Amino acid sequence: MKITHLLLLMPFVIGACAENTPPTTQSSAQIAAAPDKATMVARGEYLVNICGCNDCHSPKRMGPNGPEIIPERMLSGYPGTQPIPNFDKKVLAAGFAMFTPDLTAAAGGWGVSFSSNLTPDETGLGNWTFAQFKKALTEGKSKGLNGSRMLLPPMPWVNYVNMKEEDLSAIFAYLQSIKPVSNVAPNPIAPM
């Protein structure tokens, strides 16, 4: 076949290929990169576990190997029905920090902080938007709201400032997928 014949056939070949290509608003790379919901939730669970969210946000009881998460209270924060802990003021005055035995409340130079409810109940993250969640984790704003107080220690929000959006989305998707637990954690207590 001569080159001129090939050149004449090219528009028909290109046209035929174009007609079979479905219109799309996303690039192939975007479609391939967008995980399904189950994949996002699984990734979020993995990130919650390696980031240590359960360390402070899940009430625990003592088991044979030390503190164990109470499954039905997982990620529900400091139990609001418990009395406010009475931390040793002498220890705090010496500059030390202290935790409750279940690790859901801490006291130090900042005062007393209580871990919040991360479950999808309305007393937790149930009414939050992703934008609020992102602001809380990357800007340290309580409830993810502008003008609110900063998150208190031991919440390590400064470690999450540069977290990728897809990781934040995965964590949020996981937290929205777990069992809701009704629990209102106390407000923080200012330093003595």
85, pLDDT greater than 60: yes
Report the number of distinct structural domains present in the chain.
1
Q: Higher model confidence: residue 22 or residue 110? A: 110
Secondary structure of residue 150 in the 3-state scheme? strand
93, 119, 166, 169 from 39: Cα distances, Å = 47, 19, 12, 11
Whole-prediction pTM value?
0.80
In a domain, 106, yes or no: yes
Pairwise CA distance, residues 120 & 180, whole Å? 5
pLDDT tier at 35, thresholds 50, 70, 90: confident
> Higher model confidence: residue 13 or residue 101?
101
* Residue 167 domain flag: yes
- Could you tell me the residue range of the domain that residue 173 belongs to? 38-177
What is the helix, strand, coil percentage profile of the chain, to 5? 45, 10, 45
